[in-house]
Chain A
């Protein structure tokens, strides 16, 4: 296998244009060794044939993976939060580690720990609670696929981790029906499509209240926590997001709102299109920071990667203090944080995979002289 892998690496280098003359000679020798080799080389380096090969490969890869997932995913019984949480929460792990990407990409550093037994907590999962107009609550983790409910003229359709509202327009005469989707700590909901086709992603500890069908003159939703929007533009019916004391008016676009109660400011970041808050209009890449008393500051050079890291599966810290980090971990891992005498000046910079278990994340953070202990009952203690 070693020799085969060596040839594969050389072929890839050739494809990337990174092959040096010694390696080129080595590859040439292999090509000339047999007609079979020559044909294989041609197959993998001819653009059209490679496209076909890679296409076939990728489609098979996906098909096989789907088959496997179908076979191994256990159909979830109708159970409630507690049951799922308990089953998934506390497990014993032996030895942990992970990758910690420092601000500069070239300084990747692998952190490896020594084996030891400790309590651990798994990362957040996809899931949420849907509250219907009449107050009935549906746990989306365990609900069956298909039509969950009918609200007015709209149907609520669940397909795996995706929830969508059929796009019937609201009868202007009848009363508007509201639904709410809430992600507790330890749950996120990445795939909600509203009645107008707008896509919504809820981070952990967030909520959105929205009309099941939009009227002819307004689309208005209310949120808490952190929510990303990709709004289907309709100049005749503006889309409004209310977060605490802030109203964001969408002019057709993709943006992120971070409005957690325990954060000092609301951050509204525009990724594409245009939005306005009061009289301030944002350009793509800009962020509005709004304090609790309503003062708005426009930031032009925000790090979009950092703002959107949560959606891409990372925690991203840029000189974030320990409490700022712990607020994020607390939501994602559903843990209560207690401090035992910590130096508040200590800050961290880096990205950590949100799919890691809590103990693995803490191991990475321990590089910076702060120590941790996980206690029973989802408690995290910060030690000096």
Chain B
């Protein structure tokens, strides 16, 4: 993360904020989710955490301060949520566990978040439309017709983008899995 990026963030550039978001969202989200398995709740808490970061955007002058702010804020928010939902036994257990941990404990979820983040970065290298087509197909399981309609492009273009994505993406695990779908549709 460059100092320029942080300065742009300080000045309120949304694009810089989104870059920072994509850098930390996986770690924060999977950290929260470890203690609050409900996806919607975990998403809310993660969103709140980043909204707080944005509101204080002028106060950060390096990456470390951003990272620790996010971790502490997410941790506190998780603790608050677990306290308010103490009736559930597993929440109580998670609360005790979380309170017993040091702020900087490393969790396995960090690895998962980081791997998924790196995969996303690989996909982000693709040209924009090609990337959209791949995500709609691989992530959302949409058909060529649906994709063509949503992106307002021709059916043939969808096939071209898929072929291009297969050519460019360096992740065999995605390629092979997805190829099966593509082969059927192509």
Give the B-binding residues of A (Cβ under 8 A).
1, 3-5, 7-9, 11-12, 15-17, 36-37, 40, 43-45, 47-48, 50-51, 53-61, 63-65, 67-69, 71-72, 91, 93-98, 193, 197, 199, 230, 233, 254, 272-273, 312, 355, 360
Contact = CB atoms under 8 A, between A and B. Distances in A.
Contacts of B108: 36-37, 40
A93 B51 contact: no
Chain B interface size band reads 35 or more
Interface in B112-150: 112, 114-116, 118-120, 122, 127-128, 135, 138-140
B34 to A, nearest CB: 12
A93 B111 contact: no
B119 A54 contact: yes
B123 to A, nearest CB: 9
22 contacts: A8-B115, A11-B115, A12-B115, A15-B119, A15-B172, A16-B171, A16-B172, A54-B116, A54-B119, A54-B138, A54-B174, A55-B139, A57-B116, A60-B29, A60-B43, A61-B26, A68-B50, A93-B7, A97-B2, A97-B4, A193-B152, A360-B4
Contacts of A91: 11
A15 B25 CA distance: 22
A152 B29 CA distance: 50
Contact of A199 (B152, B170, B178): B152
B153 interface: yes
Given A60-B42, A71-B47, 7 more contacts: A51-B178, A55-B140, A67-B43, A68-B51, A69-B14, A272-B157, A312-B128
A45 B172 CA distance: 11
Interface string B166-186: 000011111011100000000
A272 B156 CA distance: 10
A42 to B, nearest CB: 12
A48 B177 contact: yes
Nearest to A7: B111
A114 B167 CA distance: 40
Nearest to A9: B118
Nearest to B104: A1
Contact of B153 (A9, A96, A230, A312): A230
Nearest to B180: A47
The 3 closest A-B pairs by CB, nearest first: A8-B114, A47-B177, A67-B47
A61 B29 CA distance: 9
Contacts of A68: 21, 47, 50-51, 54
Given A67-B43, A230-B153, A312 B127 contact: yes
B139 A54 contact: yes
Contacts of A5: 110, 114
B119 A254 contact: no
A3 B105 CA distance: 12
Interface string B3-26: 110010001001100100110011
A64 B139 contact: no
Contacts of A64: 25, 29, 43, 46-47, 50
Interface in B41-92: 42-44, 46-47, 50-51, 54-55
A45 B112 CA distance: 11
A36 B106 CA distance: 14
A40 B119 contact: no
Given A16-B171, A312-B128, A61 B4 contact: no
Nearest to A13: B118
Contacts of A50: 173-174, 177
A37 B50 CA distance: 29
A19 to B, nearest CB: 12
Contacts of A48: 177
A40 B112 contact: yes
Contacts of B177: 47-48, 50-51
